[in-house]
Structure formats: C-alpha cells, structure tokens
Structure 1
Amino acid sequence: MKQIKKTLSVRAVAAQILLQVLDQGKSLSALLPDMANQVKPQDQPLLQEICFGVCRVLPRLERIIALLVQKPLKGKTRIVHCLLLVGLYQLLYMRIPPHAAVDEVVNAASALKNDSFRSLLNGVLRRFLREQAEILATVDKHWQTLHPEWLVNRLKQDYPQDWREIVEANNQKPPMWLRVNSQHCSTQDYLERLIQQGIQAEICPEQPACAIRLQSAVSVNQLPHFEQGWVTVQDSHAQWAGLLLQPQNHELILDACAAPGGKTTHILELAPLAQVIALDVEAHRLQRVEQNLQRLNQQAEVICGDASQPQQWLADGVMFDRILLDAPCSATGVIRRHPDIKWLRREQDIEALSALQQQILTALWARLKVGGTLLYATCSVLKQENQQQIDHFLAQHCDAKLEAIFGQSSVMQFFPQQQGGDGFFYAKLIKRA
C-alpha cells in the first residue's frame, strides 16, 4: 500500500521558515527547497511568496504587531509572532479574502500544536481589520526604508545622491531575465518563440544583446526548449560577467566561486572549445553547476576547493589565461531577489568579507599568466567590497592595470533598477610584465 505523504498548511510551514530565518540566521534559499516538500506542490509558489514578502516588508509588519500586542511574543511563543507576520502580510499584500486569511493562520496554530494561541491570533488579526486605517496612518506616518539602519547608513555614506533609489529598488519584486544561447538561436528568434507561446517579453537596448526581460515570471517548464539549453534564467547585469571576460577558444579559464553555474555556462556558450574549471568551496552547490552543464550539454572540470588556496587543488606551474572571480560578498546588490539578506547580514560581516576578497584576489592573481585577464565581480553595492577593494589591490600590485569597460569607465558599478538588472560591480584587471 502506497504511503500518503503528510502535508502541512502553507501558513504553518511559512511561520516555521520565518522563525529559522529571523532567530537562527538561516537563509530562505537554504530552507525553502527542503521545507517546500511539506506542502502540496500547487501551494509551493504561495509559500515562497509569503516568506519572501514578509522578509521584504518586515519592519512595517513588526511595527503593526508592536501596536497590537502588548506583551512581546518571545521564546517558545516566537512561532506565534511569526504566524502574525504571515497573517498581516496576507491581509496587506495578497488577494486572499480577509476572513480566509485569518482563518488559515488561526488553524495553522493548531497544526503547530499551539491551540492556546488561536484566540490571540484571531483577536489581533480581526482588530487589525477593524482599525486598519488608523493603524496604518500611525505606522506609515514617515517613509520607511525597510532596511536595517546600519545598511542605510552605509548606502548614504557611499552614495549620498543615489541611496534612496537603491533602497526603493531593493524593496521591489525583481523582473525575470533570460539569457539566450546564441549557439541555438538569436535573441530575436527566441523572443518570437516566447510571444507565440503567449509569454509577453521584450529586448531592452541598454542590456546585453543576449538578454530578454519577461513581463511576468513564469515556470522554466513554460520556456521553449529550456531543457535543451536554448535559454538560461540569469539577471541581465549578471550576464555582463561572461561578456566582459571575453573568453576565447582553447584558453584555460577559471570560474572561481562558480556555483550555481550561470556564468560557467555563459563562458562555454561564448567559447565552446575553452578549457574551463568551475570552482566552488561548497560541494552541495556544485551539484547545481553539474546540472546546468548537463542541461546545456557542456563540458567543464568541476572542482570543490578554496579559491584562496589554489595550491590545494591546482598543480604547480598551472597558469590561467583568464579568471572570473565572482567574489564572496555581502550580496547587497541582490536584496530584491533575496530579501532575507537584510536581516541575515551584519555590519561586522563586511570587514570579514573584504579581507576574504583580498585574500582570494591575491592568491588567484599569482596563477594568472602575463597578459591574462582577471575579471573581479561582486553582487554588492558597497564601496568597501568594490572600488576600495580594487584601489587597494592596484596599490599592492604594480603588475596589475585596469582595462576600460565599455571603452570609458575603468570599473562598472550597476545599481539595482526597478525594471532592470541587479546591483553588480565589475573591474577588469590585466596582468602586465
């Protein structure tokens, strides 16, 4: 007899995930793949929407709870606090009938063996519905960044003129971008195939020529020839990495910190005969690299290793023609795709990440041929990890020079854009004799 898999309510699982993010510092990208199996497949998009949405607007929801709940819910009752976050997010941001949203959250308390809090949840959420206008007038009296104070202060310091624009973009849902594999068809041809399938999309002149923006996100299963490698889901600003590296056939190329493999596969689309090593320190993330290579029918040497210790995984004397260093960073440029970053990252992390970036950059530079190219990339918008990192490196290495990007700027800092790409930084270093 086939065993029936028990599933929990979406709200119960969402509350459990949020508790681990907020109290244990775990990431949504690590939690969702496993815990999504606890709900019905058709409910998984709803689970993701609730978890991402709560993290996106967390300070606003917290202020509402502070007005409605006299005694803070701590310790074992924190799960009830998370259920309130779920309930308020549904009432404010989702098209779920209010009575259904309240009932589902109240019932989730029973699923989580917190029956004694059913009346509290019901009372708080229904009071919010009765007094919503007054409560929101108090909560929204001043513009909210929905970011931790330390990060806002950093952005103000680095970009006095642009910090508000960055914050606003971070608080939006990101568009879905595709990278068309030119080995199969042109960008225009693929755009036409999408439109024939009823998927509205467009080519944006200011973005890479291989990029297509979808009007609304869709499942990859709906994308024409996705499994045959015709297209890859990748942010438009991330697509510049492969293009700026300018890989050539028969070169030995390192993609450092390669997982999940989007940049590795782009390198091989541009230079199919290149010898590529895809390196990452996390073995479980390299599975995604292998999967992406298999889907695109590409070959690369996949290595689990520490980019700051090349002697551990690379033979003596082996030198690279090109290196793409997508350095470990604060990920402050991709907050809209990973809103939990705002609550997981700490200010002291930036100093540690900056030191690690410097260590990796120096170690890999020693393995680059004279005349070779190292493209330094981050998905951060903080100058300490970007411009200041490169300035420091150039001061320490007289054999390094910057090559202009797009024929003008020595480095390129992309900000997250509401209908554009994420926040990325690029610096192209050439090794001279």
Structure 2
Amino acid sequence: EACRQLGFHWAVKVINGMLRTAQRDKAVLESSLPDTTPIQTAHPKWFVDSVESAWPEQAAALLKANNVAGPMCLRVNEQQLTREQYLTQLAQHNIPARAGQWAHSAVYLAQPRDVNTLPGFSDGAVSVQDEAAQLSAFLLDPQPGERILDACAAPGGKTGHLLERQPQLAELIALDQDVQRLQRVQENLDRLQLQATLVHASLEQFAQDHPQPQFDRILLDAPCSATGVIRRHPDIKWLRKRADISKLADTQLRLLQIAFSLLKPGGTLLYATCSILPQENTRVLHQFLKQQPRACERSISAQWGLAAERGSGHGRQLFPTIDGHDGFYYGLLQQADLQHADTQGH
C-alpha cells in the first residue's frame, strides 16, 4: 500500500513477495542471525542476560512490561482532599480512573490526558507521579519539626509529596546541581502552594559547605540507569551500555557516603533508584554497610515488591507492571552509635 501511495506500482509485487517469504521462513532467517535476543525481546542482550540472572522468575514479565507504554498515574494532595473525593471529581468530569494498589495517594487514569484538563491540577490538588515513586514519602515518614534533605530533588515530585505528607517540618532543603531542573522544582512547589529551601549545588559541594550532621531524614534518589522506567523512555534500552552500570554504582556509593554523613544520630536515610539492576541497589547498600560501622539497615515491611536480590536482606525491589507502577528500589538506613550498629547493622 505504501508503494502504491508513493507511485512505485512496479514494486508492489516484489515487496509482497519479499514479505511473504520473510513470514514463511521467519525461523530460518532468525537462526541465521548471530544473536536473536534483541529481536525476540526488543532489548539488548546484555540487559536481558542481567535481568534473567538477577530475576529469573520475573524476567519474562518485566521485559514484556517494558515494551508496553506505562499508564498515567496521579498523586492526590491529601492536604486538600482524599483520594476518594478526587475519584468522585474525576467521575463527575467523565474521566475514567481507579485507585492505586499500594500508595493511598495514587490514582490511575484509564487514558493519558493533558494535565490542564484535570480537575484541580492548577490549584495543586493533584500531580503526575508514578505510584512506585510515591512510596518514598511514606517510607521516609517525615515528622513535625524535623529538618529534611531531598538530596537529588529535581524535578520536585518527591519534594512536593514530602511537604504534602508533613506540612509542619522545620525545614526541607531541596538540592540539585542542575539550575534549570531546580527551576522546575520551584514551579511545582508554586503550583502546590508549598515552600522549601532550594539550593543549587552538588551533594559534594553542599556537604563541604555544611559539614556538620544536621538532618533528621534524608532522601537520596540517586542518579541511576533508569532501567525501571524504560517503558516511559524506550531509548534507554539502546543508549545504556553494560559498562555504564559499574560507573553508576561507584557514583551511587559515593553519594550515599556523603549523604549519610549529613544525618543526625538516630536519623533515617532512604536510598532510592528507578533501576531494577542489583548492582545499583542491593550491592551498593551491601558495600556501604561493610564500610560504615555507624549504619544499620531498617527492614521494609511491605506487601509490595520483593525482598531485593532473592533474600539478600538489603532493601525492596519493585518491577514495572503492565497497567501498574514503574520499577523502583528502596533501601532504608539509620544512623546509630557504634555499639548499636555492631549488633544490628550487618
């Protein structure tokens, strides 16, 4: 049909013949290729091998979910209204939606739509944020009067959620080294009618300028391979290389060490990535706990996700699911005295 529309009528029979041959001899043609994994899975072989090694029981479903566009998920601002109230508003506007399964602020739309058509969006009643990412504010669990650091804050979804969860903080510092992305944090906070202290600096620079432990809780959403959100950014599959992962893990460990130094005694740090690769997740925590005697791991008791890397004990892993949340990892750490860390940390 394309040939006819382009005026190449002479090519119609040739193209049809080639397509019929390819369809008939598909198995033979594929067997002649040196590696059919990228064709069969629409993922590079190194990634498939990594996933099948780390998550043999989940690999097939994970790869399948990566090839299906993720749903549009909203976070209800529970300072303004309940999720049930917002679902009612959506129904009144004839917008099909359903409640999320794990985060009680999460709402899934049946179809993506322009945010400006969502009731209450401009007034801060709702934001766009994946359900897995919403879990961070519940896990960190900020309390009144505390000082919080969002160490890699842009574009500000988690910053806003932390403030929604706890409006009586002493201070929340939103830190990012990208000034343009930090501006997006401010725009999001303005829409939500919330306030935070925005700091343009890298975590290393900030720690040099403020070396004393000063935070009750820290969220470190570390730079990562983003292999848990491939379905939202399909180019990640082909841009990422195997060698990138070890470099990212080195960066993540360094940032974790710096962030932990800023915690008050007894303070809590939530380490998060949107990766599904253990090298960036459980193994970073394992290496950190070996090096830091004042760190102890807090267990995450939850019905969502899996105990990471087949029972290693370090953190909890979510995988992308069709019509559900993205892939995400969480590990919860606490600053403790040496005696306490020796008995509970490792």
What band does the TM-score fall into relative to the shorter chain? 0.7 to 0.9
Distance across 2 between alignment mates of 1:137 and 1:231: 51
Aligned to 1:291: 187
Residue aligned with 1:375, SS: strand
Contact 2:142/2:166, CA 8 A, preserved across alignment: yes
Contact 1:310/1:363, CA 8 A, preserved across alignment: no
Alpha-carbon offset, residue 422 of structure 1: 0.5
Aligned to 2:319: 415
- The residue identity in structure 2 corresponding to 1:187 is R
Between the aligned residues of both structures, percent identity stands at: 43
Residue aligned with 2:218, SS: strand
Distance across 2 between alignment mates of 1:123 and 1:150: 42
Alpha-carbon offset, residue 406 of structure 1: 2.4
Q: 1:289-331 CA distances to partner (integer Å, 9 max, x unpaired)?
A: 111011001111111211234334x434251110000001000
Residue aligned with 1:144, SS: helix
Give the one of 139, 150, 161 matched to 2:57.
161
Aligned to 2:147: 252
Q: How many residues align?
A: 318
Q: 1:236-290 CA distances to partner (integer Å, 9 max, x unpaired)?
A: 1110011100011221111111111000000000111221111112122112111
Aligned to 1:173: 69
Q: How does 1:31-430 map to 2 (within 5 A)?
A: 132-136=19-23, 138=25, 144-204=40-100, 206-274=101-169, 275-312=171-208, 314-317=209-212, 319-406=214-301, 411-430=315-334
Contact 1:310/1:364, CA 8 A, preserved across alignment: no
Distance across 2 between alignment mates of 1:207 and 1:125: 53
Distance across 1 between alignment mates of 2:196 and 2:19: 56
Distance across 1 between alignment mates of 2:10 and 2:264: 68
Contact 2:78/2:164, CA 8 A, preserved across alignment: yes
Alpha-carbon offset, residue 134 of structure 1: 4.3
- The residue identity in structure 1 corresponding to 2:245 is I
Residues 154/123 of structure 1: CA separation in 2 closer, same or farther (3 Å cut): farther
Aligned to 1:59: none
Q: Which of the pair is proportionally richer in helix?
A: 1
Alpha-carbon offset, residue 125 of structure 1: 9.4
- The residue identity in structure 2 corresponding to 1:135 is A
Residues 352/196 of structure 1: CA separation in 2 closer, same or farther (3 Å cut): same
Distance across 1 between alignment mates of 2:148 and 2:13: 59
Contact 2:154/2:181, CA 8 A, preserved across alignment: yes
Alpha-carbon offset, residue 207 of structure 1: 1.7
Contact 1:309/1:363, CA 8 A, preserved across alignment: no
Distance across 1 between alignment mates of 2:236 and 2:225: 8
Deviates more, 1:122-131 or 1:151-160: 122-131
Contact 1:308/1:359, CA 8 A, preserved across alignment: no
Residue aligned with 2:329, SS: strand
Distance across 2 between alignment mates of 1:308 and 1:102: 61
Give 5+ residue unaligned stretches, structure 1: 1-97, 107-117
Deviates more, 1:404-413 or 1:127-136: 127-136
Residues 269/128 of structure 1: CA separation in 2 closer, same or farther (3 Å cut): farther
- The residue identity in structure 1 corresponding to 2:165 is L
Distance across 1 between alignment mates of 2:154 and 2:218: 15
Aligned to 2:341: none
- TM-align CA RMSD: 2.4
Aligned to 2:344: none
